[in-house]
Chain A
Amino acid sequence: MLFNSIEFLLFFPTVVLAYYLMPGKLRLYWLLVTSYVFYMGWNPTYALLLLFSTGVTFVSGLLIGGAKKRAAQLAEEGRKSLPWAKIWVGASFTINLAILFFYKYFDFAVENLNAVLGLFGREAVKPAFDVLLPVGISFYIFQALSYTADVYRGDVRVEKNFFKYATFVSFFPQLVAGPIERSSHLLMQFDEEKPLKMDNIRDGLLLMVWGFFQKIVVADRAAILVNQVFNYSSYYSGFEVVIAMLLFAVQIYGDFAGYSNIAIGAAQVMGFDLMDNFRRPYFATSVGDFWRRWHISLSTWFRDYLYIPLGGNRKGKVRQYINLMIVFLCSGLWHGANWTYIIWGGLNGIYQVIGRVTKPWRTRLMVRIGMKTESFSHRVLQSLITFVLIDIAWVFFRANTLGDAMHILGSVFHFNPWVLVDGSLLNMGYDQTEWVVLLLGIAVLLVLGLLQESGLRLRQGLAKQEMWFRWVIYLLALGAVLLFGIYGPGFDAAAFIYFQF
């Protein structure tokens, strides 16, 4: 079920209330059952897929653990054996990635195969079935695989309790769109006592309200214009497109960071601590910095389980660049089975490769022209450049086809500043009031982001204020979400963008 649905509004309080009322031993099973209920809100049969992936990685964990023990015994005796641990890791990865491939990339592969076959005049392959993408599959498969890898590396102990492990994989707050948790961080938390702490509940709820604000007030509102322009790109050009590009950056951030905040907040209400997923990414001063702030749980996953195993930066510069490109192409592909995503990933990789190649040269240039690299204004400049690069890449991410993306980028150069004042802005999906609400929402995002960036911890800071002030803030936040949120029968509840990945 969607976080922004009436079901979740009933589901979540029920789960939390029962959770705190029941004895500690039962809570694990309660979370497991409710997590599966949560997942089955989309497609009940796909719960089997989740269960299967859970089973495979659970068993592989046991097998790897056993194999490592036996290998250690044999090594003590000075005998050699087959590398069973490696074999089981490989098997687990193969099975899980196969599931992922089948459900996510099969159609794409067939399409591209047919394109190639077409080039050689051969008849196209017709798949015998139509695959519906299971929600969140990329997320929980990656989470499960991280466990396999961690066990193999010896970073975590083998989990022997299947229910606990299954709850770890299916934990509903982060099941379908992250953060992609690590077993080393989350698995242990299911053993802990979780006494009822009002601070957790208050902070968790507050974070959830903030997440809803980002999602349904800002992101979904921005989406109206973004969809209009990207779906009918031939009608728009110049500043209209620039506005849509800017708003898409707002939309995807609000959408995904909003989801993460709701997830982290929901988990916190129940006493769980999930990892941070976003740290004001648009304040990044380089593309590399951006990826250390954007979807942190995925970036670190790729770092730990792909980039470093590929050799990271230990095998020379050329290999490092190649590894970077591999990671970002994979990341692009992970986001979706479409060339637009692959190009988006590739662009982000290329940005960083170029950045690193030209770094010494740029540094020398800056020294020579005497740029004050420590100054605030320099940082602003860096952030702006980074933002422009990222936003150009987002065009590929959002555009429906590659052709659209190229057209949109090309049309940016049509100089038509009059659209800003001649009323055209009111023909893009918003009336004047909607524009005001949207801009205010973005302003709130920006101001709070700046405060956080300057080191202020907002929720802790708020807790120190007088009661009347806190209440006003709570009421304003709730009021803004209730009033200005995009929800209800007037709208199709907008799915979170990252569900499709």
Chain B
Amino acid sequence: MKRGMRILAFLLVFMVAYTWIDGILHTKTTDGIGTMKKYYELPKDTVDVLMVGSSHMGMNVNPTQMWDEHGIAAYNLWSGMQPIWNSYYFVKEGLKYQNPKLVVVDVFLCSVLNEYSDSSAALKSVQAMKMSLDKLGAAVASFPTWQQAAEAIWGMPTYHTRFDELAKDDFTFDEFAQELDLVQINANSTLTQEQPPYPIRLKDYASIKDSLPLSEKSEKYLRKLIDLCSSKDVPLLLIAAPFEATEDEFRRLNRVGEIAAEKGVAYLNCLADLDAYDVDPKTDFWDVGHLNASGIPKFTRKLSHYLLAQYDLPDRRLEEDHIWANGVINAADDSSVWKMDQQFTGDGVSRYIDTGVKLYENRYGSWTLLTSLDMTQHPGEEVYMSCFCETPGEGNYGLLIRRKTDDRLAVKLGNNIDVDIMIDSDVINLAIVKNVEKYTVYANGKMIVKDYELPCPKSYAGTLLIGCQELAPGGEKFRHSCTTVMDLKVYQNVQGESRILGWTPAQLPAMAAPLGMDGQVKDIYVLPEQFVGDSGSFVQNAYIDTGLKLYEESAASFTILSRITPSVVDGDKVFFSTFSEVPGEYRGLLVRQLEDQLLNVIVGNNHGITLPCVPGQMMDLAIVKTLNQYAVYVDGKLVQQIDSACAPYAGTLLIGAQRDGDGNIFRQSSTCVNSFAVKSGVMDESEIQKWNFTDAPMPQVRVATSVNYALASRFLGNGQDRYIDTGVQLYDIPQKDWTMAVTLNFEYGKNSGVYLSCFSEEVGNYRGFMIRQEAEDSITILVGNALSYKIQLSEMDRTVRLVVTKRGNQYAIYRNGSLETSLESSCDSYEGTLLIGCQETTEGEKFRFSTAKVDELTMTDGALTDEQAAELSTVQEGVSRF
């Protein structure tokens, strides 16, 4: 007994493990496997039209569109290359779980004489079915031998080889079906959108009236299918979607028609009358059997019309609980395709929001738009939002919400028809529901119009814009408005009335007004100390970044007050700039000195003026921007007014330099800015005249210290605590020039450590100068930004004479009378001093005491010429100071 229990327990464990692995390995295709798995998950009584068949059903008919346009609740239970016997079992299985009002079956594969489809297609049509006699039947019908059928039922033999192609998704099989949403299953058009049109060649099908017999098997199952539906009392529609059929294939489709007529079943052979389906064989296919993104909507629409005319199918769109209502099963409550997260307030100049939602991409599409509009400000023809074609020569159509008069809000819909709404409150909560070509509009909970049929003449590719209009899809924006939109939500389907009336706008944060728009004048920047430019040649980063983005919004208003001194030396001479240098997109603000005596001020859309200036002589320059208006004052007097609008520019305001097209600093200048202040808002002439242009404090100019030094006696490191601090700063000004002549006592085979160091140990920014022995047979020299150079030495090298002469960022290293190497490396400044025999930490503590021996060391200011340095590096035999 105990043993029996053990065996049972083992079998249980085995089954659990087996099921787990089976789930991982199971083939996971959308068609057949995915469509069937998803079908099992649908709630009861949610499918009105069950569509079954091959890819000619699955990829040509889009149920999402049927829902959107007509509220038809259709499900496409298809699998690629599905023959009629699999369709029969799919329908049989389908009718077990739903009570559709109509079954539509694609008969494409009746037109060919295959007795069996290829194994991989047959497996997709069998393996996702739940275990039942029907599954066994489907397997036996699908495979030539009972062994193959058994393998298909068992499963593992057919997919165990996938072990070497498993992907992450395979390990989440339970979620596989759940994650497939209906849109994914239904909208196979997404597969084909990128496909170029493929013109198919059609025969003169209308003239073919005779028929050819179907394969015995096809006819048998076609009849079984018809009998099944009649026994279940469900109407059946057989359909042959358009494809490039041969004449014989068409004759077999005629035979399907004969059987259908005999049995009294409806049959649509679309090939016989292709025009009736709007399908163009030249442009609407992407291969011989499948419609493309242009063909699918047309074919689907015509089919929907036929279904609506012939069968009593309810419009389920207003049933909010219907699974199709949100397009996605199990979707979160909020299924909007776009929603606002901050209020919008326009500036009338450049502000707008592009939602990216294309409301009229399909003019038959359905959507719901909920918005809350502020009516308190800006009367006049201001735009709240638009998705409206105003392209010249294209006609006017789409959606446009704007204020018409003080007391009327106009909503333009469809073909340029206004729906007027009385403005009787400060806020209007507006809801617009588009249902194919009919609109229903609510304002503050009242229905204004219901099912108003306003067909659009064409589809429009533009997006929904808030606060402006555009000339063409993605093109130039105009009618920038000062309207406020407090909330907006867009759903790409029809929302039920209760959801619409129950909607309350969210309390979203208000949008800050553009700079200076509030009418108050406030300091936003004051230069702390004078800027004295050196063209970047002596002090690194010789410019000041104020961090102000004055042109982030075109509507900004500001005042710049500056006292500048034109430069007397050559080089770039930029005073300040926030200017786009992208060719063709020059814009912003730039003040610079041209030649010697011309001051160049560029504002707005690259609009420049020149003013006289005297090098070395201070001048007071003020620039006031009011929206697109600029006023330029020199020494308190207005000298020029300019009107120049420009697009926003995101760069910051720099003093003494510019940014190039890539955003990098360039044109570091030799100009002087004595004082500089930026204020939000507009100062008028009298205020500017009253302004006291006092100089900012002078910057603390750094003067390079001298490096002159000579080692008094030979240094012998003890590796413990001995070192010499020369007190010489080599990098207080990183660009300064100096020359070092040193004689090292090299010990081959040892690892002496540091000879000399003036080196910052700052992690991530190692810099300075160092000579050390790291290996038995070499010494290493580090310069600048820790650029390292190794000199290989031999046992013969006891005395190593080196001369390092530094000019700017250039290091020339000489040894034994000739140039050893030239190095270039720049670095930040470093306050530390030159140490002999150790290094120092960033805290100034000495460490790495070495056993190095330095015979001689002299440091001198300035760089040497090549000959001088070479000579200095010559080892003078027998001459030593020690």
Contact = CB atoms under 8 A, between A and B. Distances in A.
Interface in B105-152: 119, 147-148, 150-151
B158 A433 contact: no
Contacts of B261: none
A433 B164 CA distance: 6
B882 interface: no
A431 interface: yes
Given A198-B3, A433-B164, 13 more contacts: A6-B151, A6-B157, A431-B164, A467-B6, A475-B14, A475-B17, A479-B17, A482-B21, A483-B21, A484-B163, A488-B151, A488-B158, A489-B151
B10 interface: yes
B119 A483 contact: no
Interface string A476-488: 0011001111011
Nearest to B145: A6
25 contacts: A6-B147, A6-B151, A6-B154, A6-B157, A7-B147, A433-B163, A471-B13, A474-B14, A475-B13, A475-B14, A475-B17, A478-B14, A479-B21, A482-B21, A483-B21, A483-B25, A485-B160, A488-B151, A488-B157, A488-B159, A488-B160, A488-B161, A489-B151, A489-B157, A489-B158
Given A488-B158, A489-B148, A471 B10 contact: yes
Contacts of A474: 10, 14
B165 to A, nearest CB: 9
Given A475-B13, A478-B14, A479-B17, A6 B150 contact: yes
A206 B731 CA distance: 80
Nearest to B4: A198
Contacts of B14: 474-475, 478
A474 B14 CA distance: 9
A485 B17 CA distance: 17
B313 interface: no
A373 interface: no
Interface in B9-26: 10, 13-14, 17-18, 21, 25
Contact of A483 (B6, B10, B160): B160
Interface in A384-431: 431
A490 interface: yes
B614 interface: no
Contacts of A484: 160, 163
Contact of A482 (B148, B160, B164): B160
Contacts of B638: none
Interface in B497-517: none
Most central of B151, B156, B160 by chain A CB within 10 Å: B160
A438 B17 CA distance: 23
B161 to A, nearest CB: 5
Closest 5 pairs between A and B when the two form their complex, measured CB to CB: A488-B157, A433-B164, A6-B147, A6-B150, A489-B119
Contacts of B160: 482-485, 487-488
A356 to B, nearest CB: 49
A5 B157 CA distance: 11
Contacts of A483: 21, 25, 160, 163
Chain B interface size band reads: 20 to 34
Interface in B156-179: 156-161, 163-164
Interface in A420-477: 431, 433-434, 467, 471, 474-475
Contact of A490 (B3, B6, B18, B161): B161
A296 to B, nearest CB: 33
Contacts of A5: 147
B254 to A, nearest CB: 35
A483 B151 CA distance: 14
Contacts of B6: 467
A484 B17 CA distance: 16
Nearest to A433: B164
Nearest to A472: B13
Nearest to A434: B164
Contacts of B164: 431, 433-434
B139 to A, nearest CB: 12
Interface string B803-814: 000000000000
Nearest to A198: B3
A349 B158 CA distance: 45
Contacts of B17: 475, 479
A475 B11 CA distance: 10
A212 to B, nearest CB: 13
Interface in B65-80: none
A485 B160 CA distance: 8
Contacts of A6: 147, 150-151, 154, 157
Contacts of A478: 14
B125 to A, nearest CB: 15
A485 B163 CA distance: 11
A390 B14 CA distance: 41
A133 to B, nearest CB: 23
A157 B699 CA distance: 123
A42 B339 CA distance: 70
A485 B158 CA distance: 12
B6 to A, nearest CB: 7
Contacts of B3: 198
Contact of B156 (A7, A434, A471, A482): A482
Contacts of B156: 482, 488
Contacts of A7: 147
Contacts of B163: 433, 483-484
B122 to A, nearest CB: 10
Contacts of A475: 13-14, 17
Most central of B6, B10, B17, B164 by chain A CB within 10 Å: B164
Interface string A4-31: 0111000000000000000000000000
Contacts of B21: 479, 482-483
A489 B151 CA distance: 8
A478 B157 CA distance: 14
A488 B162 CA distance: 12
Nearest to A491: B161
Contacts of B154: 6
A476 to B, nearest CB: 10
A487 B157 contact: yes
Most central of B13, B157, B159 by chain A CB within 10 Å: B157
A14 to B, nearest CB: 14
Interface string B646-683: 00000000000000000000000000000000000000
Contacts of A198: 3
B202 to A, nearest CB: 37
A187 B150 CA distance: 37
A466 to B, nearest CB: 13
A493 to B, nearest CB: 9
Nearest to B10: A471
A445 to B, nearest CB: 20
Nearest to B143: A489
A199 B485 CA distance: 82
Contacts of A489: 119, 148, 151, 157-158
Nearest to B159: A488
Contacts of B13: 471, 475
Contacts of A433: 163-164
Interface string B587-613: 000000000000000000000000000
A227 B158 CA distance: 23
A489 B157 CA distance: 7
B7 to A, nearest CB: 8
A477 B6 CA distance: 19
Contacts of B157: 6, 487-489
Interface string A184-201: 000000000000001000
A433 B163 CA distance: 9
B805 to A, nearest CB: 52
A6 B18 CA distance: 18
Nearest to B157: A488
A10 to B, nearest CB: 8
A388 to B, nearest CB: 33
Contacts of B10: 471, 474
B142 to A, nearest CB: 12
